[in-house]
């Protein structure tokens, strides 16, 4: 089965999460992704857990999350033979992904200038913690550090107590932004014939999704603060207690609010609840009034009534519930692959679907170095084909 990038070759020098996630996204679109790992242990995320699975509990589920649809080769980038192999692969690749600290590729003899000397059409994706330049460029960056430095933790959790987002969202957003930049650079290359460097960082990725929180400060002069499980600008919009737990209700306009008010027997036109501005100003009172009414019935009852009324509402699911949910599976968000050690396993699936394409056939995350011989055969074939084409010209 073919994907939109089935003629693209990606050389993935990255490790941990941001770079591997970007490369995995490109692989989900059909690209051949060759993952380069150090022979001694490979990608550090192979050792991150728990949980670990397999007969000897030696396989990291963390690694499995970011490395499907890839081939693995073991290469020591500091050795002459390793650098020679990477240079050969660079000549036959379309994209190189790296998330080393600033200057590391230069010290390995693989500067941007050298990469483009080897292959002028190469698109290079470079992901750093805080940017490749500037007064703090080159700082090492991990997800939670970036969540704090980029302000996300100040917006998350109960008021006055910063919380990290549960998923490694700085890494993942950097990977998503990076893949998006690569797609744009590949499109530009069709016009110019030349590749370029695409740069992003964990800092840039999180700052880039501040959205209305950002403009609250840059335009409105107000520093946003954490609001727990309720929206920073809309009311009622958040998590509410009912008889047997919590449910979520999002009334984003006055029409939706009137439907909620009718179900809960609240006067929607009283002065303090008439408009979103009024409701937000009296949000604590509004939450109390709503929860008093919601306490009369359980979650299932209210979700059914809200659904009938056309009000956006939902449960708060645990991950086992998410992956068992028929809607999740209907969207291709769970894929099954045949792992050489674990057998058939399910992985979180890609978030994109293309009309008219069934998508790529997914392969399991590779064992360290398992594809060395296959990649060398493919590389030799590509080099021989290039030589014949050159002779014919």
Domain containing residue 294: CATH number:
3.30.1540.10
Query: What b/e sequence results for 13-41 when a residue is b if at least 16 CB atoms lie within 10 Å of its CB, and e otherwise?
Result: bbbbbbbbbbbbbbbbbbbbbbbbbbeee
Between helices 254-264 and 283-294, what is the axis angle to 10°? Answer: 40
Instruction: Tell me, yes or no, whether 221 lies in a domain.
Output: no
pLDDT band at 393 (very low <50, low <70, confident <90, very high): confident
Please report the pLDDT score of residue 2 as a whole number.
76
Domain end residue (candidates: 316, 334, 366):
316
Mean pLDDT of 288-304: 97
Instruction: Give the span between the Cα atoms of 263 and 277, in whole angstroms.
Output: 21
Domain end residue (candidates: 316, 347, 362):
316
Instruction: Give the span between the Cα atoms of 30 and 353, in whole angstroms.
Output: 12
Q: Torsion-angle region of residue 55: left (phi > 0), alpha (psi -120 to 50) or beta?
A: alpha
**What is the per-residue pLDDT across 31-79, written as a single tens digit (0 to 9) for each?**
999 999 999 999 999 999 999 999 999 999 999 999 999 999 999 999 9
**What is the per-residue pLDDT across 231-248, written as a single tens digit (0 to 9) for each?**
999 999 999 999 999 999
Please report the pLDDT score of residue 1 as a whole number.
61
Q: Which residues are catalytic, by number?
A: 171
Question: Would you say 174 and 125 are in contact if contact means Cβ atoms under 8 Å apart?
Answer: no
**Which range has the worst mean pLDDT, 242-256, 347-361, 366-380?**
347-361
Please report the pLDDT score of residue 220 as a whole number.
97
Domain end residue (candidates: 277, 299, 316):
316
Instruction: Tell me, yes or no, whether 141 lies in a domain.
Output: yes
Query: In angstroms, what CA-CA distances link 335 with 26, 49, 66, 173, 328?
Result: 16, 22, 13, 22, 11
Task: Please name the residue that has the structure tokens 């998350």.
Answer: 156
Which distant-in-sequence residues (6+ apart) come within 8 Å of 325 by Cβ? Answer: 317
pTM (two decimals): 0.93
Range of the domain at 275: 237-316
Same domain, 329 and 289: no
Same domain, 180 and 306: no
Q: Which residue has the higher pLDDT, 160 or 295?
A: 295
Same domain, 276 and 344: no
């Amino acid at each position: 089965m073919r994907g939109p990038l089935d003629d693209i070759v990606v050389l993935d020098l990255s490790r941990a999460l941001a770079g591997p996630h970007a490369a995995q996204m490109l692989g989900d679109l059909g690209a051949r992704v060759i993952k380069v790992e150090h022979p001694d242990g490979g990608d550090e995320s192979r050792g991150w857990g728990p949980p670990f699975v397999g007969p000897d509990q030696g396989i990291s589920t963390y690694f499995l999350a970011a490395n499907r649809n890839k081939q693995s080769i073991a290469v020591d980038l500091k050795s002459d033979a390793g650098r020679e192999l990477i240079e050969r692969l660079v000549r036959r690749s379309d994209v190189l992904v790296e998330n080393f600290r600033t200057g590391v590729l230069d010290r390995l003899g693989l500067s941007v200038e050298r990469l483009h000397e080897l292959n002028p059409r190469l698109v290079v994706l470079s992901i750093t913690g805080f940017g490749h330049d500037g007064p703090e460029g080159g700082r090492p960056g991990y997800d939670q550090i970036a969540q704090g430095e980029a302000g996300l933790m100040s917006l998350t959790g109960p008021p006055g107590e910063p919380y990290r987002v549960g998923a490694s969202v700085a890494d993942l957003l950097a990977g998503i932004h990076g893949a998006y930049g690569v797609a744009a650079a590949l499109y530009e290359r069709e016009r110019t014939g030349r590749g370029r460097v695409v740069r992003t960082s964990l800092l840039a990725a999180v700052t880039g999704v501040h959205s209305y929180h950002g403009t609250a400060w840059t335009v409105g002069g107000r520093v946003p603060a954490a609001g727990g499980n309720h929206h920073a600008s809309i009311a009622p919009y958040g998590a509410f207690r009912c008889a047997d737990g919590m449910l979520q209700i999002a009334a984003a306009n006055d029409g939706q609010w009137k439907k909620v008010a009718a179900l809960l027997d609240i006067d929607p036109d009283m002065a303090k609840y008439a408009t979103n501005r009024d409701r937000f100003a009296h949000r604590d009172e509004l939450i109390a009034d709503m929860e008093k009414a919601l306490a009369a019935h359980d979650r299932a009852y209210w979700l059914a009534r809200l659904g009938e009324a056309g009000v956006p509402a939902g449960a708060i699911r645990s991950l086992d519930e998410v992956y068992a949910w028929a809607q999740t599976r209907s969207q291709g968000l769970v894929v099954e692959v045949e792992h050489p050690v674990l057998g058939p396993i399910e992985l979180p699936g890609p978030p994109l679907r293309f009309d008219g394409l069934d998508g790529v056939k997914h392969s399991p995350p590779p064992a360290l170095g398992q594809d060395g011989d296959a990649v060398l055969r493919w590389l030799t074939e590509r080099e021989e084909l290039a030589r014949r084409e050159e002779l014919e010209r």
